[in-house]
């Protein structure tokens, strides 16, 4: 089961491969790399509307680009939150002014975004948000805290789910707000140190006396509808590119198993085969659901599949190396941060896979309630 690529699609793939071969090794990521992508029109391929400095491509060509990007070992993307989450949301719910203001700089790689959803005490329960936004003339003053905010240190803007009606509860009375991050003394970003020693996630604090949100998307009280629409864009073509990265990680684990001799252990062999088979199944499921709409359980099922799979791969990566997996690649020094090799980083970082982006518990709740029609899980009032 796979896509049928036309000759025109294959020509597009060849163009993408050649461009990536010429440019992927020229930078290390970040804003400079986003600008390089934007200058060539590679940002916004999946947007249904052209005219913002982006070229557009059908589903098969989006798949071809994503696959070639993953295979090219190009730098990690810093602009994917703006391109793949906010932009489709603005195209669906934003005003013409919103589109004209924000889509061109996203397509050019000039403005980076982060997502302000999760909060302490609420986690993946989006309806439990306590961040408050109060009207103040044409803007809103925003007070509250967001956590696990990826890329917040580098972002220019944050889209924030906040309570615009202070007397509301749960998913009622919410607003989807666009907040500039460059507000010294008003918006504070604090890195969260992880098991890996890095700080990919952050806490963000909004001081309501001064912090302002300049734009409201979808209208007052419509934040829940807009936020749910955005989550529908979170799974898509990028899932296939993610799986190519997973396949490369699995290949490294197989090589390590051969080198260590663990491949001769029948238990290890069975786990390796299972990882391979499950990865193939995930690809078929992604292809089956790609481009489809109206299935409320598909994104949750996809998240449950890949998160658990990737976590088990991390466990297998250290298992096949045996005792050697407990030693780092360099001598430890109290004066310097500890170092991890690729397998150790995979093992430690993948512990978060079943939590961020909606925990497994939340995903199972969505499937239970929206697909199986089971009674809603009781939740406390907010």
Q: Which candidate, 75, 63, 213, 100, places its Cα nearest to that of 146? A: 213
What's the CA gap between 242 and 313, in Å, rounded? Answer: 14
Find the catalytic residue in 234, 248, 259, 339.
234
Q: Where are the alpha helices (DSSP H) in the chain?
A: 7-23, 30-39, 59-71, 80-81, 87-93, 96-107, 223-233, 237-260, 266-289, 298-319, 342-349, 360-366
Q: Which candidate, 167, 38, 4, places its Cα nearest to that of 107? A: 38
Which residue has tokens 């098969």? 60
- At a CB cut-off of 8 Å and minimum separation 6, what does 294 contact? none
What's the CA gap between 366 and 234, in Å, rounded? Answer: 15
The total of other beta-carbon atoms located within 10 Å of residue 94's CB is: 22
- At a CB cut-off of 8 Å and minimum separation 6, what does 10 contact? 64
CB 286 within 8 A of CB 234: no
Parallel, antiparallel, or unpaired: how do β-strands 187-192 and 201-206 relate?
antiparallel
Is 234 a residue of the active site? yes
Which residue has tokens 């163009």? 15
Distance of CA 366 to the CA centre of its chain: 19
- Helix (H) / strand (E) containing 140: strand 139-146
CB 244 within 8 A of CB 217: no
266 class by beta-carbon count within 10 Å (0-12 exposed, 13-18 middle, 19+ buried): exposed
Catalytic site positions: 234
């Amino acid at each position: 089961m796979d896509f049928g690529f036309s000759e025109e699609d294959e020509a597009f793939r060849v163009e993408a491969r050649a461009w990536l071969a010429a440019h992927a090794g020229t930078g290390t990521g970040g804003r400079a790399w986003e600008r390089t992508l934007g200058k060539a029109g590679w940002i916004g391929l999946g947007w249904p509307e052209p005219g913002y400095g982006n070229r557009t491509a059908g589903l098969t060509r989006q798949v071809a680009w994503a696959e070639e990007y993953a295979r090219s070992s190009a730098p990690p993307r810093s602009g994917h939150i703006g391109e793949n989450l906010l932009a489709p949301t603005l195209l669906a719910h934003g005003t013409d002014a919103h589109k004209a203001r924000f889509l061109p700089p996203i397509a050019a790689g000039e403005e980076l975004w982060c997502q302000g959803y999760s909060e302490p005490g609420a986690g993946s329960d989006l309806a439990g948000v306590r961040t408050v936004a109060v009207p103040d003339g044409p803007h809103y003053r925003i007070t509250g805290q967001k956590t696990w905010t990826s890329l917040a240190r580098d972002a220019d803007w944050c889209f924030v789910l906040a309570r615009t009606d202070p007397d509301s509860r749960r998913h009622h009375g919410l607003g989807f707000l666009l907040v500039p991050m460059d507000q010294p003394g008003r918006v504070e970003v604090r890195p969260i140190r992880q098991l890996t020693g890095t700080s990919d996630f952050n806490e963000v604090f909004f001081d309501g006396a001064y912090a302002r949100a300049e734009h409201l998307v979808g209208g007052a009280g419509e934040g829940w509808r807009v936020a749910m629409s955005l989550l529908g864009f979170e799974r898509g073509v990028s899932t296939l590119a993610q799986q190519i990265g997973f396949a490369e990680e699995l290949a490294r684990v197989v090589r390590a198993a051969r080198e260590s001799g663990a491949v001769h252990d029948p238990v290890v062999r069975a786990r390796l085969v299972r990882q391979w088979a499950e990865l193939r199944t995930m690809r078929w499921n992604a292809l089956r659901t790609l481009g489809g709409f109206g299935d409320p359980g598909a994104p949750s099922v996809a998240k449950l599949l890949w998160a658990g799979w990737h976590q088990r791969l991390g466990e297998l990566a250290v298992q096949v190396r045996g005792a050697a997996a407990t030693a780092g690649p360099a001598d430890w020094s109290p004066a310097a941060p500890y170092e991890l090799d690729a397998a150790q980083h995979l093992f430690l970082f993948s512990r978060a896979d079943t939590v961020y982006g909606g925990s497994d518990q939340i995903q199972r709740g969505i499937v239970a309630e929206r697909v199986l029609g089971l009674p809603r899980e009781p939740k406390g009032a907010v």
